[in-house]
Structure 1
Amino acid sequence: MNMTQDVCVLCGKNEDLSSYEVPPAGHAAGEVVLCRPCLDQIERKAELTPDYWRFLPDAMWSEVPAVQVLAWRMLTRLKNESWAAEALDVLYLDEETEAWAKAVGEEDDFVAGLVHRDSNGAILQTGDTVVLTKTLDVKGSQISARMGTVVKNIRVVEDNAEQIEGKVEGQQIVILTKYVRKQNV
């Protein structure tokens, strides 16, 4: 990778930059430089903010395949925005670049912009630890998950921002995000 790159390849910002390998790994020239706001939204560590991405119709014309892939993926995630849908309609990718862009399944991921939040509004991610804020009866089981129970290594439910999964008393259960608080470790 050209580490002399001193701006984000998508938005052009020149601060808080880091290297990012466009998944799946192994593509030649698949590493790019991104700013923190772009990276956090691409990796779903921050809430997807459609207006932030209004630079994509310009960035998508880059000659760098990795940039084209990122632009296509983000436009696909934002396709409910009229400006993003219009840009996606005119974006042309060669066969190999299009296959790379679709390799992680973004094209059907209408809910990619979903952000899981706890009862206090903190963003939840797979692997987090949470605490139950209410005693919950587990359907189809005799288990009652008591308020204050710590649930480690949760998994977010990809198609529903109101649900996570975790083990309580050795049983995998679905928990509503409004009944948990993220535990700061």
Structure 2
Amino acid sequence: MARGRDRHDARQAALAALGKDLSRRGGSACELCGGKDTPRPVLVPPPKIPDLDNAILACACCRGLLEGGRLPDADDLRFLETAIWSEVGPVQIAAVRLLRRLVAEEIDWAQEAESGLWLDDEVQERISAD
């Protein structure tokens, strides 16, 4: 059991070490909504190795949503209409996953945003791999 804990701690330390680079990339703000409320590094699954291509900087609210938390009012998530077009792979992947949760709830603007979305094959594979 100690080995599992050691691996977890090492992974968390590696993710935290990305904080400075993620802050530079995201302008010290949440890369999804732009909020400045305690942004922290978050690993975007499925990769298990923390690096810049697998992590985003996310505020407390977005971290909760990415972890499967309850969706707030759909209009509070309209930032996803822009975030799904991010050129930063893990940001786009996280945004599309959240958008698809709204589509499943039959939110009109989310369905419209998804209908016009084009994803390259690599991004689509990562989104589907979750």
TM-score, normalization by structure 2: 0.73
Match of 2:70 in 1: 47
Deviation at 1:52, TM superposition (A): 1.9
Runs of 4+ residues over 3 Å off in structure 1: none
Matches within 5 A, 1:106-185: none
Work out the CA distance in 2 between the residues paired with 1:52 and 1:102. 25
% same residue: 35
Give the SS at the match of 1:32: strand
Point out the structure with the larger strand share. Answer: 1
* Structure 1 contact 8–17 (Cα < 8 Å) conserved: yes
Give the SS at the match of 2:40: strand
Give the SS at the match of 1:4: helix
Match of 1:13 in 2: 35
Higher relative contact order (CA 8 A, sep 6+): 2
Match of 1:98 in 2: 124
TM-score, normalization by structure 1: 0.52
Point out the structure with the larger helix share. Answer: 2
Instruction: Note if 1:64 corresponds to 2:84.
Output: no
* Structure 1 contact 7–17 (Cα < 8 Å) conserved: yes
Match of 1:81 in 2: 107
Size of the aligned set, in residue pairs, is 103
**Uncovered stretches (5+) of structure 2, i.e. residues with no partner:** 1-17
